[in-house]
């Protein structure tokens, strides 16, 4: 369940990263868009993503002993952190790439855990 929640949260991050610049480019404004594009919002979104990453992927590695989900997840997280400090032109590409890596990591981790449970049953 935590991998699905983490994948959904990372997916929301990807949608946010793609739609916010598009809405800004189209001239949209408003309180919601202002909040979504503010710097603190990015830090706020990174908090649950990092908690779910630490809660989910190391435990999955201990169970199925596959490093790939952990490596994908850590790479995605590092890209998200890099996006916070990157020039504006690179921010969206880094964030979207990081979010997609995190979604992939959590879904792959869930698949491996489900397969392991089926083998043990």
| Terminal C-alpha separation, the chain | 19
Q: Is 92 exposed, middle or buried (0-12, 13-18, 19+ CB in 10 A)?
A: middle
Run of H or E including 119 = helix 88-120
Percent of the chain with pLDDT over 90: 55
Question: Domain residues for 31?
Answer: 2-120
Mean pLDDT of the chain: 86
Interval 25-49: pLDDT, tens: 666 555 555 555 567 777 888 899 9
- Rounded to two decimals, the pTM is 0.82
Instruction: Look at the chain and report how many structural domains it folds into.
Output: 1
Scored b (16 or more CB within 10 A) or e, 27-49 reads eeeeeeeeebeeeeebeebbeeb
Q: Where are the beta strands (DSSP E) in the chain?
A: none
Interval 69-81: pLDDT, tens: 999 999 999 999 9
Tokens 């990174």 map to which residue? 46
């Amino acid at each position: 369940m935590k991998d699905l929640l983490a994948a959904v949260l990372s997916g929301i991050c990807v949608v946010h990263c793609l739609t916010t610049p598009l809405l800004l480019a189209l001239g949209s404004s408003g309180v919601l868009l202002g909040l979504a594009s503010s710097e603190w919002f990015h830090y706020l979104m990174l908090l649950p993503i990092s908690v779910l990453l630490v809660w989910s992927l190391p435990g999955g590695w201990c169970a199925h002993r596959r490093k790939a989900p952990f490596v994908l997840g850590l790479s995605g997280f590092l890209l998200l952190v890099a996006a916070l400090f990157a020039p504006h032109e690179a921010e969206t590409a880094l964030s979207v790439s990081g979010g997609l890596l995190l979604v992939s990591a959590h879904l792959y981790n869930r698949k491996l855990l489900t397969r392991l449970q089926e083998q043990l049953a």
